[in-house]
Amino acid sequence: DTEVTQTPKHLVMGMTNKKSLKCEQHMGHRAMYWYKQKAKKPPELMFVYSYEKLSINESVPSRFSPECPNSSLLNLHLHALQPEDSALYLCASSQARVSEKLFFGSGTQLSVL
């Protein structure tokens, strides 16, 4: 299994809602990532988990809260988002703490109203 699976594929939420994005991989990878991608822009790194510990937080606002319950799962909890947070949220994984060979999921297209 060489897939990174993200759910849901699409999400529409209001600014007062709480929602979660989920990501799962079964490749035995020990590093997992959240990226944010705006239209016609490259992905921007948000968080990195290495061996289930948060190793990089790119100064992301606290309305985004990551969680890594185990080595296969990664969640992104969303609360009180702003319309400018609308974007494609991508999960990725890599074998160890090696950034270069990232496997990306198809993403969650998030719209904040």
Q: Encoding tokens for residue 38?
A: 């705006």
Under rule CB under 8 A, residue 53 binds another protein: no
Taking contact as CB under 8 A, which single stretch among the options 14-22, 66-74, 77-85, 91-99 is the one that binds another protein? 91-99
Q: Which is nearer to another protein, 48 or 68 (CB)?
A: 48
Burial class (CB in 10 A: 0-12, 13-18, 19+), 88: middle
Taking contact as CB under 8 A, which single stretch among the options 14-22, 42-50, 63-71, 79-87 is the one that binds another protein? 42-50
Under rule CB under 8 A, residue 104 binds another protein: yes
- Integer Cα distance of 100 and 26 in angstroms: 19
Q: Which is nearer to another protein, 55 or 82 (CB)?
A: 55
Q: Which is nearer to another protein, 6 or 81 (CB)?
A: 6
- Integer Cα distance of 24 and 3 in angstroms: 8
Contact with another protein (CB under 8 A): which of 18, 26, 38, 41? 41
Q: Is the dihedral of CA 53, 74, 20, 106 positive or negative?
A: positive
